Amino acid sequence: MKKNLLLIAAFLIIGSAYAQEFPKMDASPMDAAYYPNRAAFRAFAKTEEEKKAGEPKIRVLYSRPQAKDREVFGNLVKYGEIWRVGANESTEILFYQDVTVGGTKLKAGRYTIYAVPQKENWEVHFSTDKDNWGQYAFKPEESTVAKITVPTQKTPEMVEAMAIVFEGTDTGANMVIGWENTMVSVPINF
């Protein structure tokens, strides 16, 4: 009997040591945007030509904060201050091929995106500062490899959860970032 109690106690202790507590869902879920937009679905292409046309050129991983009836730009996101372009971890962009942003050539690879929003325009930074939470460790003078200033525009409708989409152009793609009633379009050339 004593031996059985010891075995049960040992299993309980071992079992609790391996118990996993999963975190609750984050209020700002992570999302991905591709260019071309359906690149993640290229395996469903019916022809090799469609599959090749669907090969990704750009991927962005970002968290989508919600407006929740708050004034976003100028209040929640302060004008003139560095912002991580999203929530949680710094927004990450992967270029599958060399690109040009704001006249600066960038090699294929992984970068992070930060912005300094103003009412009339945003200064968007592409950085080698990777794997960070937020913008707190970002040092633009040390890690910015390209930057571009783009004008703000009004969104056609309210954007509750910040979003990033791509639109094709003759020379590449525009990365469109929208939240609340503001959006910017960042040209990326191939």
Report pLDDT for 36.
95
Q: Is the dihedral of CA 183, 184, 189, 190 positive or negative?
A: negative
Is 8 among the domain residues? Answer: no
d(C-alpha 150, C-alpha 120), whole Å: 9
Residue with tokens 């060399």: 98
Asked if 134 contacts 115 with a C-beta cutoff of 8 angstroms, the reply is no
d(C-alpha 188, C-alpha 101), whole Å: 5
- 47: enclosing H helix or E strand: none
Is 135 among the domain residues? Answer: yes
Total of domains in the chain: 1
Is 134 among the domain residues? Answer: yes
Report pLDDT for 136.
83
Q: What is the mean pLDDT of each run of 10 residues along the chain (190 residues)?
A: 51 56 86 92 89 93 96 97 95 98 97 97 96 86 96 97 97 98 98
Is 76 among the domain residues? Answer: yes
d(C-alpha 120, C-alpha 149), whole Å: 10
Is 11 among the domain residues? Answer: no
d(C-alpha 176, C-alpha 167), whole Å: 7
Report pLDDT for 27.
84
Report pLDDT for 3.
57
Residue with tokens 């950085």: 127
Report pLDDT for 7.
46
Question: Whole domain around residue 73: which residue ranges?
Answer: 26-189
Report pLDDT for 97.
97
Is 147 among the domain residues? Answer: yes
d(C-alpha 69, C-alpha 49), whole Å: 45
Is 140 among the domain residues? Answer: yes
Asked if 60 contacts 33 with a C-beta cutoff of 8 angstroms, the reply is yes
Neighbour tally for 167: CB within 10 Å: 11
Report pLDDT for 17.
53
Token pair recorded at residue 143: 């890690």
Number of Cα atoms under 13 Å in the Cβ half of residue 7: 4
